[in-house]
Amino acid sequence: MAVTTGGRATGAPTGPVTSGTSNVNVSQREDLANFISMITRDETPFMASIGKSKATQIYHEWQTDALTAPADSRIAEGVDFIAPTAGGSAVSGEHGTGFNDAGPNRTRLGNYTQINGKTIAVSGTKRAVDQAGVADEYAYQLKKRGTEMRRDMEKNMVHDYQVASGSGIRAAGGYQSWINGATVENNNHTAASTTGAGTDAGTLAAVADRVALSLSDIDSVMQSIYEEGGKATKIMLSPKLRRDFSDLMVSDSGVRRNIDMDGKLRQSVDIYMSDFGDLMVVPNYIMGLANGSGDDNTANTCALIYDPQWFSVATLRPLAEVDVGQKGDSMVGQMVEEWTLQCNNPNGCGAIYGLA
């Protein structure tokens, strides 16, 4: 029987048990959500826009052809056939002017396959313990490394200014290697394709020499592509240059922002109707990254103008897991893919370099 002292039982608790009571915290469970949040972007806009093809050798090749330039092909009535001569010029014969129908020669282009790979190693203990948000650490790492490899491929294609190389560690020539031909104009940093062959190094303006993106640069490249027989349908930009492009609609053209009846202000421009076709504006976050420490002259410096039908990823070995197996107390595996970038006809694409 409890004895009361001053109206309170001597055996009664002095206060409530709280989370601050040290002798009961040992039994408190942690509150860890059963999922893992990852916000890193995993899109590959350029790869998603182009086609797929099959490579069967480490040097993957294809052919291009072209028509002769429009010219005077009149002949005299009853003229005799005269054998074509070298050089493609008209020849004269006894009964009038003959003709040369040899036309341009076909061109063979090619690109080296590149092997991308990542290794995964997970200890037996890590696979056995109960983890929040992860059923199997090895399977989780496989998926994560595979996504990283896709992003690496996108970077090699559009942001590394990578040229084709068959020596040492093979490298597939990226987008810029196909359009860095003789038509690079250093005065406004624009470039359109005529002689790109996968081995042309990128033209990068120094940071101090960069200029702002302008509609005249875009129109210049579009005209060059049109005159070569192509018709570009996309312009790919870094996130910063994507914003700059929308601003051009006000600064260059004087077009006012559209405010609809609900009071919504339309800030972005999705399609640019140029004199030589409509361009869909596509942002690519990888083009806004620096390849080294700080600004190494590649981030936010290039705009790609192209028709997706002229590009494809040619795969020699599709992305797959190579099961290395058990190594001591760890499970080891490797993700491997062998591929190259196929540019069916370099004249169907262009770029703008040296952007501020």
Q: Decide: helix, strand or coil at residue 282.
A: strand
Could you please state the CATH topology (level 3) that the domain comprising 45-62+106-352 is classified under: phage-related protein like fold (3.90.1690)
In the predicted model, is pLDDT for residue 110 greater than 80?
yes
- The chain-wide mean pLDDT, for the chain, equals 79
Q: How many CB atoms lie within 10 A of CB 316?
A: 17
Residues 54-71 have a mean pLDDT of: 89
b/e 195-233 (16+ beta carbons within 10 angstroms → b) = ebbbebebbbbeeeebbebbeebbebbbebbbebebebb
Q: Compute how many other C-beta atoms are within 10 angstroms of the C-beta atom of residue 84.
A: 15
DSSP bridge partners of 111: 60
DSSP label at residue 228: T
Task: Tell me how many helices (H) and strands (E) the chain has.
Answer: 6, 18
Residue 130, pLDDT score: 83
- Domain residues of the chain, as ranges? 45-62+106-352
CB atoms closer than 10 angstroms to residue 281: 18
Q: How confident is the model at residue 95 (pLDDT cuts 50, 70, 90)?
A: very low
* pLDDT band at residue 22 using 50, 70 and 90 as cut-offs: low
For residue 188, pLDDT over 50 is answered with no
Q: Is the pLDDT of residue 174 over 60?
A: yes
Using CA atoms, how far apart are residues 14 and 240, in angstroms rounded to an integer?
63
- As beta bridge partners, residue 333 has 120, 323
Higher-pLDDT residue of 43 and 314 is: 314
More confident position, 295 or 164: 164
Query: What span, in angstroms and rounded, lies between the C-alpha atoms of 304 and 221?
Result: 10
> What integer pLDDT is reported at residue 71 of this predicted model?
80
Q: What is the pLDDT of residue 65?
A: 85
Which tokens go with 275? 């004199």
Q: Does position 202 have pLDDT exceeding 50, yes or no?
A: yes
Which pLDDT band, with edges at 50, 70 and 90, does 105 fall under?
confident
| Most confident of the following: 126-130, 311-315, 342-346 | 311-315
Task: Output the CA torsion sign for 124, 130, 132, 134.
Answer: positive
pLDDT at residue 24 in the model: 59
pLDDT at 33: 62
Whether the CB-CB separation of 143 and 36 falls below 8 Å is answered with no
DSSP one-letter string for 231-270:
---EEEE-HHHHHHHHHHHHHTT-PPPEE-TT--EE----
pLDDT of residue 283: 94
Position with higher pLDDT, 124 vs 74: 124
Position of tokens 């339309």? 266
Structure confidence at residue 23 as a pLDDT band (50, 70, 90)? low
Confidence of residue 100 (pLDDT cuts 50, 70, 90): low
Residue 75 burial by CB count (10 A; 0-12/13-18/19+): exposed, middle or buried? middle
- C-alpha–C-alpha distance, residues 196 and 235, integer Å: 19
Q: Are 354 and 179 in contact (CB under 8 A)?
A: no
